[in-house]
Structure 1
Amino acid sequence: MQARTSGGVARKIFLIATEESGDRLGAGLMKILRQRLGDAVQFEGVGGRAMAGEGMTSRFPIEELSIMGLAAIVKQLPKVLRLIRQTATAVTDAAPDILVIIDSPDFTHRVARRVRARDSSIPIVDYVSPSVWAWRPGRARAMVGYVDHVLALLPFEPEAYRRLRGPPCSYVGHPLIEQLVTLRPSAAEQARRDGSPPVLLVLPGSRRSEIRHHIDVFGAALGLLRAQEIPFELILPTMPHLEQAVRDGVKGWPVEPRVVVGETEKRAAFRIARAALAKSGTVTLELALAGVPMVAAYRAGVVEAFVMRTMIQVNSVILANLVVGENVVPEFIQQDCTPQKLTDGLRDALTESALRRRQLEAFARLDSIMSTGSRSPSVRAADIVLATMREARR
Structure 2
Amino acid sequence: MTASATPEKHVMLVAGETSGDALGAELMVALRELSNVPLRFSGVGGPAMERQGFTSIFPMTDIAVMGPREIIPRLPLIFRRIWQTVRHAADEKPDLAVVIDSPEFTHMVAKRMARRAPGIPVVNYVLPSVWAWRQGRARAMRRYIRRVLALLPFEPRFLEKAGVDCVYVGHPAIERLPEEGSGARFRVARGIAPETPLLLVLPGSRLNEVKHLVEIFGETVQKLAIEMPELRVVVPTVPHVRELVEKAVKEWGVPVDLVEGEEGKRAAFDAATAALAASGTVTLELALARVPMVVAYRAEAVVGWFALSILKIPSVVLVNLILDRPSVQEYLQSRCTADNLFEGLRPLMRDTPERLRALADLDEVRARMGVGGESPSTRAARAVLDLLTD
Residue 54 of structure 1: SS of its match in structure 2?
Answer: coil
Q: Which residue of 2 aligns with 1:163?
A: 161
8 Å CA contact 1:27–1:51 kept in 2: the answer is: yes
CA distance in 1, matches of 2:328, 2:70: 34
- What percentage of residue pairs aligned between the two structures are identical? 45
Which whole-Å deviations, capped at 9, do the CAs of 1:279-299 have from their partners, x for residues lacking one?
Answer: 111211111121111111122
CA distance in 1, matches of 2:111, 2:136: 15
CA distance in 2, matches of 1:336, 1:78: 43
Residue 31 of structure 1: SS of its match in structure 2?
Answer: helix
Query: What aligned pairs does 1:311-390 form with structure 2 within 5 A after superposition?
Result: 311-371=310-370, 375-390=374-389
8 Å CA contact 1:219–1:254 kept in 2: the answer is: no
Query: What aligned pairs does 1:71-220 form with structure 2 within 5 A after superposition?
Result: 71-165=69-163, 167-180=164-177, 182=178, 185=181, 188=184, 195-220=194-219
Q: Which residue of 1 aligns with 2:283?
A: 284
1:299–1:49: structure 2 CA closer, same or farther, 3 Å change rule?
Answer: farther
1:265–1:372: structure 2 CA closer, same or farther, 3 Å change rule?
Answer: closer
8 Å CA contact 1:183–1:290 kept in 2: the answer is: no
Which whole-Å deviations, capped at 9, do the CAs of 1:44-80 have from their partners, x for residues lacking one?
Answer: 2222332222122334444444544444444444444
Q: Which residue of 2 aligns with 1:275?
A: 274
Between stretches 187-196 and 233-242, larger displacement belongs to 187-196
Q: Which residue among 32, 35, 46 is the counterpart of 2:33?
A: 35
CA distance in 1, matches of 2:291, 2:149: 28
Residue 131 of structure 2: SS of its match in structure 1?
Answer: coil
| Root mean square deviation of aligned Cα | 2.9
Count of residue pairs brought into register by the alignment: 384
Aligned amino acid, residue 215 of structure 2: D
Residue 87 of structure 1: SS of its match in structure 2?
Answer: helix
CA distance in 2, matches of 1:74, 1:256: 45
Residue 364 of structure 1: SS of its match in structure 2?
Answer: helix
Structure 1 gap segments, 5+ residues each: 1-5
Residue 389 of structure 2: SS of its match in structure 1?
Answer: helix
CA distance in 2, matches of 1:187, 1:307: 40
8 Å CA contact 2:182–2:271 kept in 1: the answer is: no
CA distance in 1, matches of 2:254, 2:341: 15
8 Å CA contact 1:151–1:170 kept in 2: the answer is: yes
8 Å CA contact 2:183–2:272 kept in 1: the answer is: no
CA distance in 2, matches of 1:136, 1:110: 16
Q: Which residue of 2 aligns with 1:259?
A: 258
Q: Which residue among 12, 15, 25 is the counterpart of 2:13?
A: 15
1:279–1:126: structure 2 CA closer, same or farther, 3 Å change rule?
Answer: same
Between stretches 234-243 and 117-126, larger displacement belongs to 234-243
Aligned amino acid, residue 285 of structure 1: L
CA distance in 2, matches of 1:84, 1:303: 34
TM-score by length of 1: 0.87
1:214–1:62: structure 2 CA closer, same or farther, 3 Å change rule?
Answer: farther
Following superposition, the deviation at residue 86 of structure 1 comes to 3.1
Between stretches 216-225 and 67-76, larger displacement belongs to 67-76
CA distance in 1, matches of 2:66, 2:303: 13
TM-score by length of 2: 0.88
8 Å CA contact 2:123–2:384 kept in 1: the answer is: yes
1:228–1:375: structure 2 CA closer, same or farther, 3 Å change rule?
Answer: closer
CA distance in 1, matches of 2:183, 2:66: 42
Aligned amino acid, residue 342 of structure 2: T
Aligned amino acid, residue 56 of structure 1: F
Which whole-Å deviations, capped at 9, do the CAs of 1:234-285 have from their partners, x for residues lacking one?
Answer: 1111234554454355455444521111101111111110011111112111
